[in-house]
Amino acid sequence: MYPKYANFPIFKLSSRNTMQIYKANILFTKERTQFDVIPNGYIAVDGGKVVGVYEQLPASLAGQPITDYGDKLLIPAMCDMHVHAPQYRNQGIAMDLELLPWLQNYTFPEESKYVDTAYAERMYRRFVRDLWRFGTMRTVAFATVHRDSTRLLMNLFREAGMSAHVGKVDMNRNCPDALCETVEDAIRDNEALIADCTEPDALVRPIITPRFVPSCTPELLQACGDLARKHHLPVQSHLSENRSEIAWVQELEPDSRNYGDAYRRYGLFGDTPTIMAHCVWTEGEELELMREKQVMVAHCPTSNLNLSSGTAPIRVFLNQGVPVGLGSDISGGHDLSIFKMMVYAIQVSKMLYCQDKSLPFLTLSEVFWVATKSAGQFFGKVGSFEPGYEFDALVVDDCSLNLDNYSLLHRLERFIYLGDDRQIVHRFCRGKEILEPRV
């Protein structure tokens, strides 16, 4: 029986938190400006965390079981820092519409369906499965205003073993009746969801989610800020996506110095860890406030293109030390792959560079770092293979793309530019191999 036992899948051991060693071509970005590349390297993992990365296996680790991925690539798993889970059905449709008719005819009617948890389950299962397909092991998601289907989404992430901050959306003005709640309902439903998640280091956690200033009264914004402070919960929302939205916020919150300041006044801008989607038009005092409060930008380049929003100045954020991650923003964005977000992030930065040569375009290592180590800090020590980081990883079999002995860096670049879910053959989150979620 010995040979059969030796072939027993290794991840079973890993789930018991014993030491595990993986061998592959290892690439990650400790620093923003360059890749760490370890050809035929070893990575030791214990208790879900990286112990070390080695060119040669140290004597102290001799005798430990090794999973050998041969010539494949081993890279950190992806983080999607802004996505509307209930807009999954609308991915890639009605892209010819402008923002307002698109919201009224597609977004809000779709979100209204999530009062029905059976519909929610059918769609959310596919959504979680597709995040898995594209190698996204950490997600910051908007759900809907509905408590029960939000709880369901959290449970589906847990069932899959994938990590997420999931937000019940809060909104009580400028929205259809079906999605409009009272402040009291919002507080009660958030408290209920928060009470579900008492484990301090849980994989799946709630995040306070006022939709955006125009859809929340001052009372609701204040209630959201109070909840965040009371439970020390993170916050997500939208910021400075387009100019007419900014003007509208200025009208609604005339005492605010800028859009970001409107959140700040209610304790929703960096008092707890905060992530703001878009920030296309952020500059001046708002930029300074983001730097000071370390508010993270969820950069969503496909959404910004599809909705004619403009181009977020990511080079400026990086120069200023404002944290940045990447978001698919389904369904303003049409692509769930964070690898494709890297490509788009480079491309839109090249458009800015074309207009202003003082803003060098983003390089591959920079967008990779943004999508992994920079974004991952929102989840703790995630997105790198440095010691102590949680082992979130993807094994990439790029043999279909590696037709002429490319360098490891060119292989990674081709996978990012040309590849898709077909090349991702293993996925890990917190040291556990994550198998395909049931739909």
Applying CB under 8 A, which of residues 30, 32, 89, 265 lies at the interface with a second copy? 89
- Sign of torsion, CA 206 212 214 219? positive
Distance CA 229, CA 153 (A): 24
Q: Which helix (H) or strand (E) holds 43?
A: strand 34-46
Contact characters 308-327, a second copy, x per CB under 8 A: xxxx----------------
Q: Which of positions 98-157 make contact with a second copy (CB under 8 A)?
A: 123, 126
Nearest partner of 144 among 195, 108, 173, judged by Cα: 108
Q: Name the segment binding a second copy (CB under 8 A); options: 23-31, 218-226, 246-254, 412-420.
A: 412-420
Applying CB under 8 A, which of residues 18, 95, 195, 387 lies at the interface with a second copy? 95
Task: Please report, for residues 213, 246, 263, the alpha-carbon distance to residue 252 in angstroms, rounded to integers and kept in the order given.
Answer: 8, 10, 12
Applying CB under 8 A, which of residues 31, 55, 65, 94 lies at the interface with a second copy? 94
Q: Which helix (H) or strand (E) holds 219?
A: helix 218-231
Instruction: State the nearest-atom distance from the C-beta of 339 to a second copy, in Å.
Output: 11
Check: CB of residue 19 under 8 Å from CB of residue 51: yes
Distance CA 139, CA 341 (A): 14
Other CB atoms within 10 Å distance of the CB of residue 17 = 14
Which residue, 173 or 410, is less far from a second copy as judged by CB? 410
Applying CB under 8 A, which of residues 364, 377, 381, 386 lies at the interface with a second copy? 364
Q: Name the segment binding a second copy (CB under 8 A); options: 28-36, 251-259, 357-365, 389-397.
A: 357-365
Q: What percent of the residues of the chain are helix, what percent strand, and what percent coil, each to the nearest 5?
A: 45, 25, 35
According to the binding rule CB under 8 A, does residue 306 interact with a second copy?
yes
Contact characters 380-409, a second copy, x per CB under 8 A: -----------------------xx-x---
Strand partners, 79: 138
Contact characters 191-220, a second copy, x per CB under 8 A: ------------------------------
Check: CB of residue 108 under 8 Å from CB of residue 142: no
- Residues interacting with a second copy, by CB under 8 A? 89, 91-96, 123, 126, 302, 305-311, 334-335, 343, 346-348, 350-351, 353-354, 361, 363-364, 403-404, 406, 410, 413-414, 416-418, 420
